[in-house]
Structure 1
Amino acid sequence: MKPALGLTVSTNLVITPQLQQAIHLLQLSTIDLQQEIHEALESNPLLEIDDSDESGYSDAHESSGREEPQETTSHEPSDQSLSRDESTSRTEDHDEGPQADSQWEEQIPSDLAVDTAWDDIYTNDYMPPSGSGSHDEFEGPYERNDQEASLQEHLLWQLNLSLHNERDRLIGETIIDSIGLDGYLGTPLESLAEALQQQEATLADVETNEVAAILRLIQQFDPPGVGARDLRECLLLQLDQLPTDIPRLATARRMVEQYLEALASHDYRFLMRRLKLRNEDELHAVISLIQGLNPRPGSQITSETPDYIIPDLVVSRHQGRWRVELNPEAMPKLKVQSHYADMIRRADQSPTNQYLRDHYREAQWLIKSLQSRNETLLKVGSKILELQHGFFEQGEEAMKPMVLADIAEAIEMHESTVSRATTQKYMHTPRGIFELKYFFSSHVSTAEGGEASSTAIRAMIKKLISQEPPRKPLSDSKLADMLAADGIQIARRTVAKYREAMQIPPSSERKRLR
């Protein structure tokens, strides 16, 4: 073969930094997006928060029955403010003309091409705009400055108030370090004594009974039951700290000490016979007292920061029609400062002015990327509202089977785009706050040849269990038969899988006196 030159025509997707930014913003949760905006405001002097009344997004989609969602007028304040800035600057500095502006001002397309199978080409190489703020330094509006003390800190504080002997304090600190987050001591006392002998020269002669004495002191600390080595000891420690005049306290202590296994298996006849109780009312009073105890005392003391959810979309009923709109409290509203825009157009080609021009383009792309994100979320949310109309009207039992492909096909976007647009995005509805992925579920065939959502089936199982007689709870086989009577054919093991997913115990553990 001879070497030759030729021309070929092909279509390739070039993922520009601006496109990476739009994709990056699309996949962020609301709290992460607010942090990203905070960093952009610090690093870009041309950006500012738009607090004007007319700057809020009024995008909304409505749905009623099977009607297609109708889109109302969409206001894009950022583009409007940019247009006003441009017209004002061109009026004040008409000598340069539009031709001079076009030399440096980058044209932004009306629609950003964020819809693509970018799982194959997008990597996590995108770096957000650099600025003085960082993820570690930024403290969002829901960050807490006063972190709660951990369980170990809470116990050490009580230990320092109770012990003044250095030897006893070292033993107590070692015991507290071995207590888990649930409040239980998982290390044997013999092992603790050996560790202390090797750790400190002054404790070379420490014995197990000395460690046990300090442990008994710690077991009197708050929260009640801390430092226990098993469930029985944990419950007994809590019963010991209750007032002695509580009715049935002695019987409850005897039940925990001797018949905890029978209580776990709900062998009520055996318990009544052994404890010499006259009727079920007395047994119920004793069991209620035990059920009021905390089997995980360490859970009362936690240093974890709570996770807050800010919904991206809000669904409401307006004049008989369901309406989905962007959450105005969550959507950032940005604009370019007109004063700097005027300075850029009147200035020369100095490095300082070039610096402002670069930030002006970054601000334009950021605002357009945010608008594209909001439009994508609104499209996805409106289509979910349309396809899951029965859920909003009747609840979980009316949920229909739906997968990502259904939404992607309906709004003419790629599945990967829908997947990123529904991850960590939440919708506030009259029935609660749900992640958008909650509305997607697999389908199960019915006896009539139709399909039922797995979410709806779980709701039916939960409803049947809530209505079961407490003395004779429904088994998984019985639940499968009852669902079959309603036309939903599923196996017993499928019922068990759904029940376990909802963290509902089996029938043998759901048996109650009343």
Structure 2
Amino acid sequence: MALSAKLQLRQSQALVMTPQLMQSIRLLQFTHTELERFVDEEIERNPLLERQDPADDAGRDDPEPSGADDGDAEWFSAGLDTSSETLAERLDTSLENVFPDDPGVQDRLGPDLALTWKSASGNQGQGDGGFDFETMAAAAVTLRDMVDEQIAFTFPDRAKALIARELADALDDTGYMRGDIGEIADRLGADRPTVEAVLDACQGFDPAGLFARDLRECLALQLRRRDRFDPAMEALIAHLDLLAKRDFVALRRICKVDEGDLIDMLGEIRALDPKPGAGFVASAAETVVPDVVVKPAPDGSWTVELNPETLPRVLVDQAYFAQVCTHAKSPADREFLSDCMQSANWLTRSLDQRARTILKVTSEIVRQQDGFLVHGIRHLRPLNLKTVADAIQMHESTVSRVTANKYMQTPRGVFELRFFFTASIASAEGGDAHSAQAVRHRIRQMIDEEDTSNVLSDDAIVDILRKDGVDIARRTVAKYREGMNIPSSVQRRREKRAMAGMEA
């Protein structure tokens, strides 16, 4: 048989992940902040894209067009119109949005006209000067502000003040000093005893307990401030591990005190602050913005809407594209403009598809967890990604991406979408399965209702749950209890007896 080279043509079908398809899949799992950042990057790269603000939308409701280009632009909303209202009807047309607090506008108007403009917009109170001083709040005092002020009064020597500020830089949000004394001394060119002396002085700052290096030192500083750091209390502080285990017998032996004195000492420990710096403002608090809002409907069902604050709006400027195309002479310029238009159209379609997918998935979650929304966590049903994916005819991986790092606002609070997906625990009577989250809540509820004479063991909790129709093993109860940081029945009994003695 002779060997020869041949050329054959074959047709085949295969799924190919294009770069744009991969990017569309990534958009699903983006959080609100990540999506905003991505849109800003696309707008910076693409001259045909422009962000649309709600205030600009309100300004476009003017019946008389302000320019020839207003009617030529094609507007896309990244959100999904979930009601019968139009886009213009859903936009806020209040004076605050029509005349936003734009520094650029104020610069163009000048200081005098800007003040008049802000007063006419109605956002500032009704005073003669146009400002409502009741709405103005003083800046919150931070931990570093408090420490810097005490450093200035405590260390007149500039070298020691420099060391103190270096130690202050090592403070965490709770007031603990996390730096290494030797490393700070080497970096500043100072000897270790000098740095330790400055640290001792800083540990006398208010509030008591600042600049401690661990919990024991923090509590000891506060007890010294109260003149209560006697040998018995020093022994108790040195054995906080036994206190965490509720081993009061060993503590009485180590501290050489009777039960009454130990109860008094525990009461003093409870009155201390383990995080003395937590009461100050360390950084701006990040507010969780829900992606979906669930409200009760008049007919008894639920209305699921996307939060417009999490839906970026972009503008594809068709008029600018047509104008620039007439001046594009070289093939490279025309190809660049074509790529920009394709990218802009892809972005608007992808954002709209992302919004539709989120709405579809969350609507099914609300339908599955209707009992939780009506009656509470004890009626949370077991649910997994595959159940939702099969119901809405999507792939399970798509549902997983949609529910990642997204939140839903319900009448019962704001929950992460993953909260509604819980494991299933079989029913003891052959009925519907129980949600693991609901069982955890039931275990915590039973333990919270305990008293000194009736502390439930894990076996007793198993018996109660089985009477309620929950088929659960003792090791599962122990795992759930430990996951909620609930001590064993022996430790809880010791703690309740100690608490009862303190109250007596």
Structure 1 and Structure 2 fold alike (TM over 0.5): yes
2:459: which partner in 1?
477
- Report the counterpart of residue 208 of structure 2 in structure 1: 224
1:406 aligns with 2:398: no
Task: Decide whether the 8 Å contact of 2:232 with 2:257 is kept in 1.
Answer: no
- Is 2:403 the partner of 1:422? yes
Q: For the residues of structure 2 that align with 1:178 and 1:454, how far apart are their CA atoms?
A: 42
The structure, 1 or 2, with the larger RCO (C-alpha pairs under 8 Å, 6+ apart) is: 1
SS of 2:450's partner is coil
- Aligned partner of 1:382 in structure 2 is 363
**Contact 1:427 1:433 (C-alpha < 8 Å) held by counterparts:** yes
Residues 453 and 255 of structure 1: CA distance in aligned 2, closer, same or farther (over 3 Å): farther
Residues in 1 aligned to 2:304 and 2:188: alpha-carbon distance in whole angstroms: 66
SS of alignment partner, residue 433 of structure 1: strand
Distance 1:58 1:50 in 2: 16
> Aligned to 1:21, which of 16, 20, 23?
23
Partner of 1:330: 310
- Could you list the runs of 5+ residues in structure 2 that have no partner in the other structure? 62-75, 89-138
Deviations 1:355-389 (CA, angstroms, capped at 9, x unpaired): 44432222111100000101111111011111111
- 1:437-462, CA deviations, whole angstroms, 9 ceiling, x for partnerless residues? 11112111121234211111111112
Residue 109 of structure 2 is matched in structure 1 by none
370-379 or 479-488: bigger deviation: 479-488
More helix by share: 2
**2:34 is aligned with 1:42:** no
Trace 1:284-433 onto structure 2 (pairs within 5 A).
290-300=269-279, 303=282, 306-319=285-298, 320-343=300-323, 349-350=329-330, 354-433=335-414
Task: Give, as a single letter, the amino acid of the residue that structure 1 aligns with 2:42.
Answer: A
Judge conservation of contact 2:383–2:422 (CA < 8 Å) in 1: yes
Task: Name the SS of the counterpart of 2:309 in structure 1.
Answer: coil
CA shift, 1:253, in A, is 7.5
Say if 1:76 and 1:371, in contact at 8 Å, map to a contact too: no
CA distance in 2, matches of 1:212, 1:59: 64
How far the C-alpha of 1:304 sits from its partner, in A, is 5.3
Partner AA of 2:302 in structure 1 = W
Match 2:469 to one of 487, 493, 498: 487
Distance change >3 Å, CA 186–CA 75, structure 1 → 2 = closer
The residue identity in structure 2 corresponding to 1:340 is Y
Letter in 2 for 1:34: E
C-alpha distance 509-420 of structure 1, shift in aligned 2 (>3 A): same
Q: CA contact under 8 A between 1:30 and 1:311: conserved in structure 2?
A: no
Question: Any conservation in 2 of the 1:147–1:303 contact (CA below 8 Å)?
Answer: no
| 1:325–1:378 contact (8 Å) kept in structure 2 | yes
Deviations, residues 295-324 of structure 1 (Å, cap 9, x unaligned): 133545675554432211111101111121
Check 1:15–1:178 CA distance in 2 against 1; reply closer, same or farther (3 A cut). Answer: closer
Structure 1 segment 269-288 matched on structure 2, within 5 A: 274=257
In the alignment, what sits opposite 2:156? 164
Instruction: Say whether the 8 Å CA contact 1:232–1:256 is kept in structure 2.
Output: no
Aligned equivalents of 2:270 and 2:378: distance in 1? Answer: 32
Query: How far, CA to CA, are the matches of 2:140 and 2:346 in structure 1?
Result: 38
Provide the C-alpha distance between the structure 1 equivalents of 2:18 and 2:482, rounded to a whole number of angstroms. 46
Contact 2:408–2:414 (CA<8 Å) still a contact in 1? yes
Deviations 1:202-256 (A, max 9, x none): 74xx75xx666544322111342123455444224224546xxxxxx96x98874
Structure 2 distance, partners of 1:375, 1:201, is 61
The letter of the residue matching 2:296 is R
Which residue does 1:462 correspond to in 2?
Answer: 444
Which sits farther off after the overlay, 230-239 or 412-421?
A: 230-239
Q: Is the 8 A contact 2:325 2:337 kept in 1?
A: no
Which amino acid letter does the alignment assign opposite residue 16 of structure 1?
A: T
> In the alignment, what sits opposite 2:73?
none
Alpha-carbon distance in structure 1 between the residues aligned to 2:278 and 2:232: 24
Q: Is the 8 A contact 1:446 1:488 kept in 2?
A: yes
Shift of 1:423: 0.5
Question: What corresponds to 2:104 in structure 1?
Answer: none
Tell me the distance in 2 between the aligned counterparts of 1:358 and 1:375. Answer: 26
The alpha-carbon distance between structure 1 residues 363 and 157, as it changes in their structure 2 partners (threshold 3 A), is same
Scaled by the length of structure 2, the TM-score of the pair is: 0.69
Instruction: Give the partner amino acid of 1:330.
Output: T
Correspondence 1:116-265 to 2 at 5 A: 155=147, 158-165=150-157, 168=160, 183-184=175-176, 196=185, 203=191, 213-228=197-212, 231-241=215-225, 256-257=233-234, 259=236, 265=246
Against the structure 1 CA distance between its residues 504 and 363, is the aligned structure 2 distance closer, same or farther, given a 3 Å change threshold? same
* SS of structure 2 residue aligned to 1:329: helix
SS at match of 1:220: coil
For residues 172-227 of structure 1, give each alpha carbon's deviation from its aligned partner in whole angstroms, at most 9, with x where no partner exists. Answer: 5676677676545689xxx957995x778774xx75xx666544322111342123
Partner deviation per Cα, 1:145-197 (whole Å, 9 max, x = no partner): x999776x96566435412346655765676677676545689xxx957995x
- Deviation (angstroms), 1:495: 1.4
Give the direction of change, closer, same or farther, for the CA distance of 1:58–1:163 in structure 2 (3 Å limit). same
The alpha carbon displacement at 1:490 in A equals: 1.7
CA distance in 2, matches of 1:47, 1:180: 43
- The alignment partner of 1:323 has SS state of strand
Seen in structure 2, the aligned counterparts of structure 1 residues 3 and 401 have a Cα distance that, compared at 3 Å, is farther
Q: Counterpart of 1:295 in 2: which secondary structure?
A: coil
Tell me which residue corresponds to 2:110. Answer: none
Instruction: Choose 332-341 or 211-220, whichever is displaced more.
Output: 211-220
Does the C-alpha gap of structure 1 residues 336 and 5 become closer, same or farther in structure 2, counting only changes over 3 Å? same
By how many angstroms is 1:5 displaced? Answer: 3.3
Match of 1:65 in 2: none
DSSP 3-state at the match of 1:297: coil
% same residue? 36
Rounded Cα–Cα distance in structure 1 between residues aligned with 2:427 and 2:420: 20
Displacement of 1:424 after TM fit? 0.9
AA aligned to 1:455 is Q
| 1:500 positional shift | 2.4
Give the Cα separation in 1 of the matches to 2:490 and 2:280: 32
Q: For 1:387 and 1:201, how far apart are their aligned partners in 2? A: 65
* Whole-angstrom distance in 2 between the partners of 1:335 and 1:255: 72
RMSD of equivalent CA atoms: 4.2
- The more displaced of 6-15 and 482-491 is 6-15
Return the alpha-carbon distance in structure 1 between the equivalents of residues 41 and 173 of structure 2. Answer: 35
